[in-house]
Structures are given as C-alpha cells and as structure tokens.
C-alpha cells in the first residue's frame, strides 16, 4: 500500500514515499512546515492517481485493445504486414467477441480460464497460444497504465500441447519428399517453375525467402545462398512488399546441391545489378515484350 512520511535528517527534513508498484523516492526540505506541505501534496497525488486508475479500470477491454494496438503497431522496427494481419484477425475473431465488452477490471483469472477452454475446444493449440500471447500483452499494457493491479493472465496456466502417439513411437510421417515424390510434383507444374521448385526442395527455403532472394546473396563460388531478404505479400489495409528478417535467426547460409547450383545458374538475371531478384515470375503477356516481374509464388 502506498505511503508518505517525513522525518528530521540533520538540520533538514526528509519527505519519503513508497508507491503501490514498489517504486520509492524522497526529497529534502528546510523546515517542518515545508515537509508537512510536501507530504500532503504527495498524498494527494497518490490518491488522485489511484482514482484515475480505478476510472481506467472501468473501460472495456476492447478499448484497451485499441490503445495497445496503436502503440504496438507503430513500434520500430514495425511488425510485418503478415504479423499485423494475423494479429488483427485473432483479436477480431477470438478475443473481442468474448471479452471485448467487459470492463478490464472484471477480467479475472476465472473468466480467462473460461475463454481459454472455449477457444481450445474450437481451435488448435497454435491458435490458442497465439491468442493467449496477444491477450497477455494487452492486459500487461493495462497493468502498466495503472488500470488493473496485476495481469490476471499470469495466474492462468497455459494449455499443454496435444500428445502425438506417432511422434512418441517414432512412426510419424516424413516431413520431406523422396526423389520420386519430388519428380511427381515437378511434373504437375509448367516447365517455367521447375528451377523455382528445385531450389525450394533442395534448400528447404520458405516461399517468401525464395521470392526475396537477390543476386548479391548468391555465392556460387562457395556453393551457398545467403538467406536474408524475406518477401511479405498481404492484401487489405496492411500493404505488401519486401522486409528484412525479424531476428538474427533469420540470417543464415544454405549449402547448395549440384542440381540447385544448375537451377540458380539458369535463373540469374542478366547484367550486374546486385539487387536484382533471382527468381521472378514470367511477366509479359500477349503482344507485349516479356519483362521480369516479382515472383508471386503461393503455397497450394
């Protein structure tokens, strides 16, 4: 509980205080009257702040979602368009309908358990954990702003992931294609895309990493790709375009099999522009001169 006191210190007087969040401070003044006045003023500030916090606690959670979004979406570096789109969808479909109209001070651990159980019955574990992470950050934002004393999500255990018997027994299906399966996949695509697919399969790249690969990141002399650039393409209000990796983990060198070296060699753009894209779309059209366009690959 917050407190304010004062005492004599040598020939002067120390006014000291401790707030509800554990922070503390103090100030020295010359006379006892000044000490009493400063202590009274500090008590008034604390009482006023607590009252404002209680008022903010009556705001609906949906309002706190909006305030948190305004701050989070403008952080630097900004979240990717894909991250923004996924977060907006999860908040709209899984958080706001159940909790958005409730006062943030009424969002209790019991209520969060009910929300978590209902969502877990309808959606998979990854979606559940992603929504839980968003809600945790929103409630932490409300706590930091003094609207609630503590984040109630801290007292709600995270759900355990489902157990896969095949993974435990070592009988899970393979996660990569055999050469025969890769051949069947290639045969289903037009010839233009074969080099794209060979590079995807041979290097284990994401489609976004393939689409964002630039000439300067191809080191055929060393037999590696330097995977750095990532392409995001999201419609709607979040824009699209190229964006760098989220962390150091997104920067790596990938060794190249001989078949991939040949595929990349066939796709290297003419000229010496180091920023030129390696894997592009066919471009052009009937009656037009063919030009290189950004690869708009889509997983199917």
Range from 198-207, 236-245, 279-288 that averages highest in pLDDT: 198-207
Q: Is the pLDDT of residue 249 over 80?
A: no
In this structure, are residues 228 and 254 in contact, taking their beta carbons and an 8 Å threshold?
A: no
Task: Answer whether residue 96 shows pLDDT above 60.
Answer: yes
| Residue among 59, 251, 234, 73 nearest 145 (CA) | 59
Residue 247: pLDDT over 80: no
Q: 269 or 261: which carries more pLDDT confidence?
A: 261
Average pLDDT, the chain: 83
pLDDT above 90 coverage of the chain, percent: 40
3-state secondary structure (DSSP) of residue 275: coil
Q: Give the whole-angstrom CA distance, residue 35 versus residue 294.
A: 70
- Using pLDDT thresholds of 50, 70 and 90, give the confidence band for residue 54: low
In sequence order, which residues have a C-beta less than 8 Å from that of residue 219 and are 6 or more positions away?
225, 226
Residue in 149, 106, 151, 145 with CA at minimum distance from that of residue 2: 149
For residue 13, what pLDDT is reported? 94
Residue 251: count of CB within 10 angstroms of its CB: 12
In this predicted structure, the answer to whether residue 288 has a pLDDT above a threshold of 60 is no
- Cβ atoms within 10 Å, residue 54: 13
In terms of Cβ atoms closer than 10 Å to its own Cβ (0-12, 13-18, 19+), residue 242 is middle
Mean pLDDT of 53-64: 83
Read off the pLDDT of residues 70-79 as tens digits, 9 standing for 90 and up.
999 888 777 8
**What digits encode the pLDDT tens for the residues 161-182?**
888 787 777 777 777 788 888 8
Q: For residue 132, which of 110, 147, 154, 163 has the smallest C-alpha distance?
A: 154
**Residues paired with residue 224 on neighbouring β-strands, in sequence order:** 219, 255
pLDDT at 21 over 70: no
Mean pLDDT of 62-71: 94
Is 60's pLDDT higher than 80?
A: yes
Distant-in-sequence contacts of 148-155, Cβ < 8 A, 24+ apart: 148/57, 148/104, 148/105, 148/107, 149/20, 152/107, 152/108, 152/109, 152/112, 153/109, 153/112, 155/109
**What pLDDT, on a 0 to 100 scale, did the predictor assign at position 129?**
96
Split at pLDDT 50, 70, 90, the class of 57 is: confident
Tokens of 158: 């995270």
- In percent, how much of the chain has pLDDT > 70? 82
What number is the average pLDDT over the span 190-195?
92
How far apart are the C-alpha atoms of 126 and 214, rounded to whole Å? 32
CA dist 221 and 201 (Å) reads: 21
pLDDT for res 283? 67
Both structure tokens of 34: 């000044």
Long-range contacts formed by 2-11: CB under 8 A, 24+ apart: 2/46, 2/50, 4/39, 4/42, 4/43, 4/46, 5/39, 6/35, 6/36, 6/38, 6/39, 8/32
Cβ contacts of residue 80 below 8 Å, gap of 6+? 232, 243, 246
Smallest CA-to-CA distance from 225 within 195, 261, 193, 258 is with 261
Q: Residue 204 above 60 pLDDT?
A: yes
pLDDT in tens, 205-231: 888 888 888 899 999 888 898 887 665
Are the C-beta atoms of residues 243 and 80 closer than 8 Å to each other? yes
- 45 half-sphere exposure, CB direction, 13 A CA radius: 12
Q: Residue 234 above 70 pLDDT?
A: no
Instruction: Evaluate if residue 286 carries a pLDDT over 50.
Output: no
Q: Tens digits of per-residue pLDDT, 117-135?
A: 999 999 999 999 999 999 9
Mean pLDDT computed over 55-60: 84
Task: Select from 267, 283, 278, 181 the least CA-distant residue to 227.
Answer: 278
| Mean pLDDT along residues 46-70 | 79
């Amino acid at each position: 509980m917050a407190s304010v006191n004062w005492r004599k210190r040598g020939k002067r007087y120390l006014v000291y205080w401790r707030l509800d969040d554990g922070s503390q401070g103090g100030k020295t003044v010359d006379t006892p009257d000044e000490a009493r006045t400063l202590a009274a003023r500090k008590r008034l500030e604390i009482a006023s702040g607590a009252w404002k916090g209680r008022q903010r606690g009556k705001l609906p959670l949906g309002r706190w979602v909006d305030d948190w979004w305004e701050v989070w979406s403008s952080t630097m570096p900004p979240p990717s368009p894909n991250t923004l789109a996924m977060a907006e969808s999860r908040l709209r479909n899984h958080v706001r309908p159940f909790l958005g109209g409730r006062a943030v001070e009424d969002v209790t651990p019991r209520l969060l358990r009910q929300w978590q159980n209902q969502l877990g019955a309808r959606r998979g574990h990854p979606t559940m954990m992603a929504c839980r992470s968003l809600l945790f950050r929103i409630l932490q934002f409300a706590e930091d702003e003094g609207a609630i004393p503590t984040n109630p999500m801290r007292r709600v255990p995270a759900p355990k992931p489902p157990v896969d018997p095949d993974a435990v027994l070592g009988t899970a299906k393979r996660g990569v294609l055999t050469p025969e399966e890769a051949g069947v996949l290639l045969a289903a695509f037009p010839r233009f895309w074969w080099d794209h697919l060979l590079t995807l399969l041979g290097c284990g790249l994401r489609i976004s990493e393939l689409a964002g690969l630039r000439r300067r990141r191809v080191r055929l002399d060393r037999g590696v790709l330097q995977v750095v650039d990532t392409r995001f393409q999201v419609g709607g209000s979040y824009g699209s375009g190229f964006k760098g990796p989220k962390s150091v983990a997104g920067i790596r060198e990938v060794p190249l099999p001989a078949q991939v070296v040949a595929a990349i060699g066939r796709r290297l753009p003419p000229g010496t522009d180091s920023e030129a894209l390696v894997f592009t779309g066919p471009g052009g059209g009937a009656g037009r001169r063919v030009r290189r366009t950004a690869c708009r690959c889509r997983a199917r």
